[in-house]
Structure 1
Amino acid sequence: MLIINARLYAGQACVALRVEGERIVELAPGLRPRAGEEVFDAAAAAVLPGLHDHHIHLLAYAAALESVPCGPPQLSDAAALFNTLARHGAGTGWMRGVGYHESVAGDIDRAWLDCAVPERPLRIQHRSGQLWIFNSAGLRQLGVRDGVTGDDPFERHAGVASGRLYAGDAWLRERLGGRMPALDEVSRRLAGFGITGVTDASPSNARDEFLHFAAEAARGALRQEVLMMGSAALDPAWRQPGLAVGATKIHLRESDLPDFDATCARIVHSHRTGRPVAVHCVTLAELMFALGALQAAGVRAGDRLEHAALSTPEAVALVRDAGLAVVTQPHFVFERGDAYLSALATDELAGLYRARSFVSAGVALGAGSDAPYGDADPWRSMAAAQQRLTRGGRRLGAGECLDATAALLRLYGSSAQDPGGECRQLQVGATADLCVLDRSWDAVLEDLAAVRVRLTLGRGRVLHAA
């Protein structure tokens, strides 16, 4: 393929790129088409390396596309949730809801769900991904009984299950069984955003998930390059074309922090197997725990912090001194910012999803969608990093805004192994991962959220063409 009239940088003259196989083989002004060569006219629009989502959950995203939305922005109050669930409750088999948040109907439980859906087994996932809420029919389907101490991890009050299951995905997966979802639609949507690579950040990833990703790639359903985080079950790191094992994922939860020495030992073990670690830390307490454990165990190249949603200037300095990268989710400022403004104290708001503070300190800052728990569109995420506006139009943390160029090149343009590092370049010999946008560089930087992608190539293959 020959791509003509391409602008690789703002203010640069148009060039043409010739792609053969998986590589860019020529890049110069005025290249002429060869006989039978496919030609794509970029029409003086911006052309840049394919984007990489540094934090996503592919299987959960695929399942969410087949589930009932139960939270903002689709639903905003208890009546809307009740009516939505009741409308879908007449079917058979498991009913699955996603995206719930307390701002809709408070701390709902089994009894609340029974009123809306009394007969059909129902489970709803909290938007954090760390809580499932079941109705009574769902509990019966799982064999969960009141007054009986079994092996289930459900929350109970006076022996009665509330229907709330915290951090129980592995247990739930064993009970539900079933096949892992196909990834065709997920991959298609990501390609439409210009995404040619992803890092799957699910902590429970193990051999079965690796084999499923490999099978989906082999049948052409999963078209992005995948770096796969997961548990120690992936030791030592496996690799095949288009799919590799990355960091060991350590998930912290402030209300139930693990033993400190055991966490240090887990980090040391991961490093000895050749794998870095990625530590999930949302609260400031989780961040400080992660920093302490990494300092005690020793930091190696590739170690990173996921989210770092709340931090102080002192914590930013500690992250810098430790040499850790941070993978953030700037779009949560837009998607959840109004709720944050209502729920968090002023000092917490000042430290929420910092961006400029990390970049100014010299911390490598990459970004990921956390889909399905956040919007998978990287352009909206970059716009949020640039503007820091909530859905309601209020600015949250103006001092943390990134300029548009930094938002574009640092957050999503870096390689899978180096989030927030140098942006990959389109040059002769480079892998032909690229996307052609629908507008000039000036227009891109003026309104990132409005960007649409006309063409996405991954290793020289057309992943998306609009």
Structure 2
Amino acid sequence: MTDLTFRRVELPVGIRDVVVRDGRVVEITDDAPSHGSVVIDGRGGALIPGLHDHHLHLHATAAAAESIRCGPPEVTDLAGLTAALTGAPGDGWIRGVGYTETVGGLIDRSALDRCTPDRPVRIQHRSGALWILNTRAADLVDLEQADHPGIERDERGRPTGRLWRADDWLRDHLPDAGPPSLSALGESLSAFGITGITDASPDLSRESRDALIAAHRTGQLPQRLHLLGVGIGDDLPDAGPAVTVGPYKIVIADSGLPDLADLTERIRQAHTHRRPVAVHCVSRVALALLLAAFRDAGVIDGDRIEHGAIIGAGTVTELAELGVRVVTQPGFLADRGDDYLARVDAADLPDLYRCRSLLDHHVPTALSSDAPYGPLDPWAVIRAAIERRAPTGEIVGEAERIRADEALDCHLAPLDDPGGEARQIRPGADADLVLFDRPLAEVLDDPRSDMVRCTVIRGERKFDRG
């Protein structure tokens, strides 16, 4: 591993040199010797710890990059959907992503047949909770004879083509292409300055888990990797110190809410194995159910709510009292805020993706992308937390705006401590670093990914804009 010396970089203490050796920061000085190391002249640009994305779905994000866009802004009506699908290259399966009801309602396989009858098509709703198959696709996976609670059927018992939270079942019945490559995604994350990621996919299969670890080992995915989808009590194969097990992921699906006693027992089981829980919780009803389960099961350090899309004002105080963390995604406001303004009850709009009130009540809060369902770029997420502007330009929940430095800090907490204290550059710290082409004040004044000049992960350069 080559030693690195960053010359003339901006730190909170002023312009300094930073020396990196064996994957760690070893010295911060006014005049570091350059012998035996690669010297990077910072030219006064800020050097900060690398950003962490505390909630995304790696394989789904990689697959989405190779899929047909089926929702706004690219597709806004059924004619556009037909054009997008019929224009798909090749002659086999078509995989679409990003569909939403504003395009053409909650379509079924008959509606999808009218768009593309001749090729098997599967389209994912932009929420990630629903797949829609046309008849050709339904026949190929033998949907008629399938037995899965998420397969929707009409009054005659015939599949509608809609599959709710049946990702694993569908994956097992599709042509075996294996998990997608993560190489391009790893490069994109590095270019954004992301040095650590939490994969929030629930119930990872052994194949998916091993593929994620292999991508990290081979360097396709150089970021530190924190996994929520590892089963309770399961151990990882020897993956090295940069791959860790996080809280146990539980999904409260609004399409089929769990029994309170069952949810409470799942939380207790995880706690018995000394695993916190990370609970997918989007609606007001789901949050009320989860809080009741926490009151019964108790809370341990590390328990967290994923999304918290709607949190009532009175609930914020209860979250603070319980000590539950929130990992949220204000990037959705910039991505689909116009849809929220049109379809969400006006009384709920102030409660969407809260940030300011959570921080003010000392609820540990982290920001993340939820890619591929939200924007992957952390700087877009930071801007959204600052501005809270919908694509129309209208502001959604102005009182929940936070400052740029606060939004950045929400990306700087350790992977195992989302919402905790922002990491600092100090001797002995891991050398996960981002160098900008300008001082930090200018970065925060107009956050953009093109200001990232160099990204270092575990002491090695993974991105260099030159």
TM-score, with normalisation over the residues of structure 1?
A: 0.95
Whether 1:156 and 2:153 are equivalent positions in the alignment is yes
Whether the 8 Å contact between 1:235 and 1:273 is mirrored in structure 2 is no
SS across alignment from 2:441: helix
Whether the 8 Å contact between 1:5 and 1:41 is mirrored in structure 2 is yes
Aligned residue type for 2:423? R
Render the CA deviation track for 1:278-298: whole Å, top value 9, x for unaligned. Answer: 011111111111111112101
Distance verdict in 2 for CA 1:340–1:186, change over 3 Å: same
Aligned residue type for 2:195? T
Q: Distance in 2 between matches of 1:99 and 1:233?
A: 31
Q: CA deviation at 1:13?
A: 2.2
SS across alignment from 2:181: coil
Q: Show the counterpart of 1:264.
A: 264
Q: Distance in 1 between matches of 2:273 and 2:239?
A: 18
After TM superposition, the structure 1 = structure 2 runs for residues 28-177 of structure 1, keeping only pairs within 5 Å, are: 28-34=29-35, 36-88=36-88, 91-145=90-144, 150=147, 153-157=150-154, 158-176=156-174, 177=176
Render the CA deviation track for 1:143-199: whole Å, top value 9, x for unaligned. Answer: 123xx6755742111222211111101211221243111211111111110001000
Aligned residue type for 1:348? D
Q: Distance in 2 between matches of 1:77 and 1:439?
A: 43
Render the CA deviation track for 1:397-439: whole Å, top value 9, x for unaligned. Answer: 1110001111111x10000011111000101111100101122
Q: Show the counterpart of 1:192.
A: 191
Q: Show the counterpart of 1:418.
A: 417
Render the CA deviation track for 1:238-271: whole Å, top value 9, x for unaligned. Answer: 6632211111111012231112111111111111
Q: Distance in 2 between matches of 1:238 and 1:394?
A: 48
Q: Show the counterpart of 2:202.
A: 203
Candidates 5, 8, 18, aligned match of 1:2: 5
Q: Distance in 2 between matches of 1:362 and 1:87?
A: 50
Q: Distance in 2 between matches of 1:421 and 1:19?
A: 25
TM-score, with normalisation over the residues of structure 2?
A: 0.95
Distance verdict in 2 for CA 1:200–1:87, change over 3 Å: same
Q: Show the counterpart of 1:453.
A: 452
- Long gaps (5+) in structure 1: none
Q: Distance in 1 between matches of 2:455 and 2:86?
A: 41
SS across alignment from 2:250: strand
SS across alignment from 2:143: coil
After TM superposition, the structure 1 = structure 2 runs for residues 48-447 of structure 1, keeping only pairs within 5 Å, are: 48-88=48-88, 91-145=90-144, 150=147, 153-157=150-154, 158-176=156-174, 177-230=176-229, 232=231, 235-236=234-235, 240-241=239-240, 242-409=242-409, 411-447=410-446
Q: Distance in 2 between matches of 1:151 and 1:101?
A: 23
Render the CA deviation track for 1:59-82: whole Å, top value 9, x for unaligned. Answer: 111111111111122222222211
Number of aligned residue pairs: give it. Answer: 459
Whether the 8 Å contact between 1:432 and 1:457 is mirrored in structure 2 is yes
Q: Distance in 2 between matches of 1:39 and 1:272?
A: 49
Q: Distance in 1 between matches of 2:81 and 2:220?
A: 33
Aligned residue type for 1:171? W
Whether the 8 Å contact between 1:237 and 1:274 is mirrored in structure 2 is no
Q: Distance in 2 between matches of 1:142 and 1:268?
A: 37
Whether the 8 Å contact between 2:49 and 2:412 is mirrored in structure 1 is yes
Q: CA deviation at 1:38?
A: 1.2
Q: Distance in 2 between matches of 1:46 and 1:370?
A: 27
Q: Distance in 2 between matches of 1:448 and 1:75?
A: 28
Q: Show the counterpart of 1:13.
A: 14
Aligned residue type for 2:222? R
SS across alignment from 2:86: helix
SS across alignment from 1:235: coil
Aligned residue type for 2:127? S
SS across alignment from 1:62: helix
Aligned residue type for 1:29? D
Whether the 8 Å contact between 1:236 and 1:273 is mirrored in structure 2 is no
Q: CA deviation at 1:30?
A: 2.3
Distance verdict in 2 for CA 1:238–1:322, change over 3 Å: farther
Q: CA deviation at 1:231?
A: 5.0
Q: Distance in 2 between matches of 1:151 and 1:282?
A: 23
